[in-house]
Amino acid sequence: MIHMTKKIVGITCDIKGKFFESEIIYSQKVIDAGAVPFYLPMDTTKKNVSKIAACLDCLIVTGSRDIDPSFYGEKKSRSINELDKDRTLSELLYINIMKKKNKKILGICGGMQLINVAFSGSLYQDIELNILKSINHNSSSDSKKGVRHTIRIAPDSILYRFFGKSIGTVNSYHHQAIKVLGNSLIVSAKSKDGIIEAFEDKSGRVLGVQWHPELSKAKSDFEVFKWLIEQ
């Protein structure tokens, strides 16, 4: 009898003093999808991250933070939330190393934005300040209170397989967004104000979603995690 080993999914964390932290729901979704979650140490040494990445089958780059605009060649505006440079440096190492190994990468909300930066893209530092006539993407300054809005999904995208239609509804908790799309990335979905809500790369091994599928009970959102652990 052949015993199939479960995929190991690396999950990036925040740095809180002497702790690495991440929300429990990420690991629960990975377990439900049939894989083994591994919360990653946010190491900033390439040699160490390479050793860790060698043990992983795929990667989730999580949300819940802003990115220092210096990483995409801009100066910080007054609208930027608390930043963690070491977390960003570590996540960029994981993204680049996993990409070189052709292992799947899923970016969620701020994680999607960071993948875009890793692929030489840039961000709007604040949607309300930078985008005229934008819809509401985060109903409160309290990041725990989001909104729901529709997205238009590209018919030939990975995402279309999950939703099975060109219009979907997603949750939304962000105040930043993609400005210039990174190299080799393809838009998979947009909101009605033109903001990029999802992308994939040309190899089909990288997927970024601007919303939080881990907070949803919809089958279409759970398919995101099932995609991650597929071959």
Q: Which residues are catalytic?
A: 109, 212, 214
Residues 205 and 221: their CA atoms lie apart, in Å, by: 17
83 C-beta neighbours (distance < 10 Å), count: 15
Number of helices followed by number of strands (H, E) in the chain: 7, 13
Using CA atoms, how far apart are residues 170 and 210, in angstroms rounded to an integer? 9
Interacting residues of 120 by C-beta distance below 8 A, sequence separation 6+: 182, 183
Beta bridge partners of 58: 9, 104
Beta bridge partners of 187: 199
